[in-house]
Chains A and B, each alone.
Chain A
Amino acid sequence: LFHSSLLRLQIEELLKEVTLKETKKKKIDAFLHEINAFISPAPPQLTDQTWLPGDVKVPFLQVPFDVKGKFRFLPPAQLSVVGSYLLGTCIKPEINVDVAVTMPREVFQDKDNLNQRYHRKRALYLAHIAHHLSKERLFGSVKFAYMNSNHLKPILLLRPQGKDEKLVTVRLHACPALGFFKPSRFHPSKNNVRTAWFMEQSSPKEAAHPTLQQLCDTVLLSHLFFLSTASTDFLGMKDDVALLKVWLNQRQLSKGLGCFSGFLVSMLVAYLLMKRKIVRVMSGYQVLRNVLQFLATTDLSVMGISLMKDVDASLPALADFHQAFEVVFVDPSGLVNLCADMTASKYHQVQSEAKRSMEILDDRMVDGFQVLLMTPKPMLRTFDHVFHRKHVSKLQSACKKIELMDRGGNYVAAALPFIVSLLARGLAGRALLVAHSLPQTPEWPIDAEPPKHKDVGPLTFGLLFVPEFAASTLEKGPQADRPEAVEFWNFWGEKSELRRFQDGTICEAVVWEASTVCQKRLIPEQIVRHLRGWATCGCTCALGEEAVVSIVCSYDDLSHKLWNLEGLPLTVTAVQGVHLALRYTDVFPPIPMKPIYSFHNQIRTKRLLLPSEEKPCPAYIAPLKIICHMEGSGRWPQDKEAIKRIKTAFHLQLAELLQQQHQLICRPAVTHTDVYKDGYVFHLQVAYHQEPLILKEVVTPEGMLKYQDTEESQQLELETLHWPYLTSSLHGLQQQHPVFGSSCRLAKRWVSAQLLSDSISEECVDLLVASLFLHPAPFTPPSSPQVGFLRFLSLLVTFDWNNNPLIVNLNAGLTGEQCTEIKNKFMAARSRLPVIFIATPKDQWSSVWTRERPSAQILQRLLVLASESLRALEEQLMDPLGSQDIVFCPPLDIYDVLIHLNSKQIPRHLESVDRPVKSFSRGVVKNSAGVNVLFPVVDYDPVQCYLQELRDAFSDLALFFYDKHGGEVIVVLWKPLSFQPFKVSNMKGRMVTTVNNKLVCVPNVEAILEDFEVLGAGLVKRVEARTEKWTI
């Protein structure tokens, strides 16, 4: 019956959470009775249009105004509750009770079905009731709204007074008496609006346009009966409809014009029951699966379905409906299309969601419940690119009058299908899915004019890309001699040109201009801009991605040279790059540099350059770390000190050989050799695979040899085992998902801009971003860096770090059982594990990348910052006029001390978020050519040296934060605990003083502030103490 017992329990809990409680139900029932008592005896009134008092406006857009007919109000014939409340399927947070108010027959005249006359009468009827009710003190608020934002269907919203106001909304629908209108009038091919009336002029031909005036209201009651018979003896249905409603809500599909509403869901379940796809004994979960399966496989825009039991010749056929509507789902009466407002693209979005959800449910690795029902999927995070159309009123001119008439003048709804199909065609092959937001009109008070069509706000379109083709520069059309070519040309216009391709064909083609990857990413935007004048929004980061490619080339060359070195006593078995740039995740990948000699001090004897005190600090050259594994042999010593010496000997020899055989300049050291090649500096480190084992050896008193983890061995394992593995896996991931690298860099830039880059390891961020690509459920893997970044932030905020391990299944190296095992062990040992626990196939139990950092406090801070940034960014993306880089500016007001740095001595000053106005010559030229004789200054960053000294000296008194990408300020936060009295032998930087005649130790803050300046002589501009928290 269920996927697993856990899922069942989870679903039960969820249902408990969303369904109405009995006590609440009683309150609502009481409220409904009161309403009934109020409305039934409403005074009859014979009226014209002028009767309405000034404080109530008709909730209907009366365009054109003139229409024939008389209206008079009579008390309603019947009041009845319909819809989800009676079926028990209405769910929180918005509890709506639908009440049908049946208008008596006498209200209407003949031919009221024509020219919106019925609609106007209904609106007037509601206005009268509103006028009547607004005087009562029973109601907290009386407002108008459009049903599902369809401007032809106004409804009256009533809310109870007092603290129950939030509890329930009673929606009054006015509907005509059953059988008043002849069903044949509403055949989809019949027209109920006269063109002449709508155009306000006589038009020559009276084409019978299909009308969209659906009198759904007439059948409200019969729908209720239909659904209640379907739901009798069917517990699963109630659960399932609630689940599906949650599912739709999370995907933002259940509100607005043309939504997939809860009512539709109920009807769909009833349809499946009728077709015997599901049976009454099924559980809610099974029904959910069946419904999703049905949605995933059936395209209602091609093959409509009908709830009609038997075929009746007088009723319209499905084909008629298909002609009139994009999506077809006919109700039991055979007249009403339930999906009348829905666009095909919306339905396709529902379909793709359903397909995706089925995949997730079948996948044992992910927590289906969490992903399907608990994770919201807003448009910004779902789609790779999001476009806004801001001034929707301009759309009016784009629509034909006749289409407008079908939609009752709603030009937004009329233009939507056209825009979507245009986009889909222009982006064919690049976009997997083109979706649009649902236009929504807000509710309005009864004394205000109803909202206009343009009040729906900006329309949002989401594009989901096919990563392989999204950035191709060429749009190849049909061959020039084919008839399709004309069509192609008409579509693209000036942009299209004839081109000869390599296979000899001559085709129409469109070429978009883009030279770098970053620009290529914007091609879809170019296309869309071309298709229409759009207000677009796409945040991009202009970071060089080509740089990485040239690094990788240089690295490959070096590794070949290493492999083929002659004269080494042992051969090289493997060369593995471990630097960030080699896994495409370095925020600023190194660029080839050539030093200017005159800028530096020189040591001729050692053939290298030194930074000079008088000049600004030389540009930072990051060494690219490479691990070089040597062959195992019996000749390696078995003693750790001796191994160190041998490794040093290898470093010396490698340097010598590279210099002799390949003329590369090398600088050997004890632990590594630096090689200067093509303007890059490679940091070569020799590794011996047995060494971690030898470091672990411990001999017990009994003479037994044991292996124990020591700090040294762990460090070595990290460097020679985990790093290369991570680098190669992530390199592979980058090949699969081309935007992985840039998403990751954006995320890292954000972390460091928030001054937390030293508090969380780079690898940890890499893995977090990798998890977005490997486990994207319920989304698809991101295809643009911006959406990757948004999801990174939301992952930080929403993931429950305390109770769940984050499993990153690199190369699919973990099986389902292993995952459960990890989860179970994690739960058992939670208190001993780091605050962020990341498990990868090669590192299942220890989470090496998060063992030391971040601490619980830092994580807390990170989460706060992430949620704030996410909010700010989403707001900004929805309204592109805001300032751009707001999320990359850290708030400084919570910190105690600011240490301002001298920008002359910050080597990475150019990397800062807002580019500095004036910059200094850093003594390098960008150049990779030419053979150098002097070795440049490598890995020299005074700010990092300073930070290291500060942390060594004051780490138990304060925390230091710095943006390593060109930050101009180091911020200091005192640790509150360190201001407690302390024992004497541990007084680092403290002093002894008397408080209440007792000797205690307190931090000697004045002296420490001066120490900040002393330690950073030449680098520190000034120290600014902002708080005086240290006074006790």
Chain B
Amino acid sequence: AASRRAKMAAARQRAAGAAPPGYTALAVKFGERQRSPHCLLVKEHRVREGPGDAHPPGRTLFVLNVPPYCGPESLSRLFASCGPVQGVDVRDKPGPGEKTEKLSSKFFSRRTATGFQVAYVVFKKPASIQAVKALAEEGPLLISTDSHPVKTGISKWIARYADSVVDQEKLKTEVDTFMQDYDKKIAQEEAKAAQEEGVPDKEGWVKVTRKGRKPGLPRTEAANLRVLEREKRKRARKELLNFYAWQHRETKREHIAQLRKKFEEDKQRIALMRAQRKFRPY
């Protein structure tokens, strides 16, 4: 036990400073009682700016190794000491931010990230990024404190179970509004298609659809295959089998070749079995 404690102590020392180049390591613990901290690796987020990027360079902090119990709220609280936080984006893998797609529905959203994650913390001011580095010197950060407890274990699961029960009325109205929008959209598309029906475009092409007076073939893979199959059958019907002597010879030869092939295959299988000592009965 003594050696283990010594090792733990050594680990604590190790974890404090080490960080790969470019990153700053921040020790972070769940609560006061825990002894060994995880370390968050943070650096400034630097990529070429695209239009509508949710992570503006200059004031975005890229955080690696976010523990599973550390959600967006905890992160924004942790970094609030460095300056006001605009938003936190937690995700499974690093990637371009497409935060623009707003969560359309409370009920039909995709599942949230779990396990160890990465996070993009967007500050309001660029100066906050530098302030973060100063955090490394202060002791380990605490995720769950008395004022802001984080639920884990039984209490979390009970809360989740309670959340999984949906409010029927709200769900119903949401579904109804979605379907109304959808119906409207479909109706619009159909009206547009009906307008374009049979009207040639600039170069004089007419678009043929499934609707209209002369429906065309559907453009699906299955339909294409069907057509090919039909052609093949037609050709096969026209052909005469074993009509000429050479055809006869050929089929015979093929038959023998097939038998030989099968024999070879069998031999290979036997060789394989022999290699595995499959013929020892006991």
Contact = CB atoms under 8 A, between A and B. Distances in A.
B46 to A, nearest CB: 14
Contacts of B247: none
B179 A646 contact: yes
A645 interface: yes
Contacts, number: 214
Contacts of A445: none
Given A991-B18, A1004-B36, A1014-B69, A652 B262 contact: no
Interface in A731-762: none
A1014 B152 contact: yes
Nearest to A11: B279
Interface in B242-282: 262-263, 266-267, 269-270, 272-274, 276, 278-282
Interface string B69-91: 10000000000000000000000
Interface in B1-49: 4, 7-8, 11, 14-15, 18-21, 23, 25, 30-31, 34-39, 41
Nearest to A605: B167
Interface in A988-1004: 988-994, 999, 1004
Interface string A606-622: 10101111000100000
Nearest to B218: A705
Interface in B102-155: 107-108, 114-116, 118, 152-155
A373 B176 CA distance: 67
Contacts of B108: 641, 644-645, 670
A1031 interface: yes
A9 B266 contact: yes
Contact of B279 (A14, A608, A667, A991): A14
A940 B162 CA distance: 11
Contacts of B274: 13
How extensive is the interface on chain A, given as a class? 35 or more
A316 interface: no
B206 interface: no
Contact of A988 (B39, B69, B115, B153): B115
Interface stretch (B50-58, B60-68, B191-199, B229-237): B60-68
B220 A706 contact: yes
A993 B281 contact: no
A989 B64 CA distance: 10
Contacts of A639: 182
Given A940-B161, A1006-B35, A1019-B154, A6 B269 contact: yes
Which of A18, A246, A707, A1014 counts the most chain B CB atoms within 10 A?
A1014
A93 interface: yes
Given A17-B279, A246-B281, A1015 B161 contact: no
Given A642-B182, A645-B178, A17 B281 contact: yes
A74 B274 CA distance: 52
Given A17-B281, A670-B108, A1015-B153, A949 B68 contact: yes
A649 B180 CA distance: 13
A989 B15 CA distance: 12
Contacts of B69: 1011, 1014-1015
A5 interface: yes
A249 to B, nearest CB: 7
A669 B166 contact: yes
B222 interface: yes
A455 B166 CA distance: 73
B279 A13 contact: yes
B255 to A, nearest CB: 15
B281 A1007 contact: no
Nearest to B67: A1011
B228 interface: no
B94 interface: yes
A953 B115 contact: yes
B11 to A, nearest CB: 5
B179 A649 contact: yes
Nearest to A904: B154
B224 A704 contact: yes
Interface string B158-190: 101110111110011001101100100010000
B37 A1007 contact: yes
Which of A250, A617, A641, A984 counts the most chain B CB atoms within 10 A?
A984
How extensive is the interface on chain B, given as a class? 35 or more
A610 B162 contact: yes
A648 B171 contact: yes
A134 B175 CA distance: 96
A376 B18 CA distance: 61
Contacts of A1014: 30-31, 34, 69, 152-153
Interface string A996-1032: 0001000010110011001111111000000010010
A1015 B152 contact: yes
A952 B114 contact: yes
A16 interface: yes
Contacts of A570: none
Contacts of A17: 279-281
A637 interface: yes
B175 A988 contact: no
B152 A669 contact: no
Given A1010-B30, A1014-B30, A1018-B153, A10 B281 contact: no
Given A9-B266, A993-B14, A953 B153 contact: no
Contact of A669 (B64, B164, B220, B281): B164
A684 to B, nearest CB: 15
A988 B35 contact: no
Contacts of B179: 642, 645-646, 649
B154 A984 contact: no
A606 B165 contact: yes
Contact of A670 (B67, B171, B222): B171
Contacts of B114: 949, 952-953
Contact of A13 (B34, B263, B270): B270
A667 B36 CA distance: 44
A637 B221 CA distance: 21
Contacts of B161: 610-611, 937, 940
B234 to A, nearest CB: 23
Nearest to B176: A649
B142 to A, nearest CB: 12
B219 interface: yes
A945 B157 contact: yes
Interface in A648-689: 648-649, 652, 655, 667-670
Contacts of B11: 1004, 1006
Contacts of B279: 10, 13-14, 16-17, 374
A298 to B, nearest CB: 26
A1018 B156 CA distance: 10
- Rank and list the top 6 A-B pairs by shortest CB-CB distance, nearest first: A1017-B153, A1018-B154, A988-B116, A1006-B36, A952-B114, A952-B115
Interface of A: 5-6, 9-10, 13-14, 16-18, 93, 246, 249-250, 373-374, 376, 603, 606, 608, 610-613, 617, 637, 639, 641-642, 644-646, 648-649, 652, 655, 667-670, 703-707, 800, 803, 905, 937, 940, 942, 945-946, 949, 952-955, 984-985, 987-994, 999, 1004, 1006-1007, 1010-1011, 1014-1020, 1028, 1031
16 contacts: A606-B167, A641-B108, A649-B175, A670-B107, A705-B219, A800-B276, A803-B276, A942-B157, A953-B68, A991-B14, A992-B20, A993-B14, A993-B18, A1007-B36, A1016-B153, A1028-B4
Interface of B: 4, 7-8, 11, 14-15, 18-21, 23, 25, 30-31, 34-39, 41, 64-65, 67-69, 94, 107-108, 114-116, 118, 152-155, 157-158, 160-162, 164-168, 171-172, 175-176, 178-179, 182, 186, 218-222, 224, 262-263, 266-267, 269-270, 272-274, 276, 278-282
Given A942-B154, A946-B153, A1006-B8, 20 more contacts: A10-B279, A93-B282, A250-B281, A376-B282, A610-B158, A613-B155, A613-B158, A649-B176, A705-B218, A800-B276, A803-B276, A942-B153, A953-B67, A953-B114, A988-B115, A993-B15, A1006-B7, A1010-B36, A1011-B30, A1011-B38
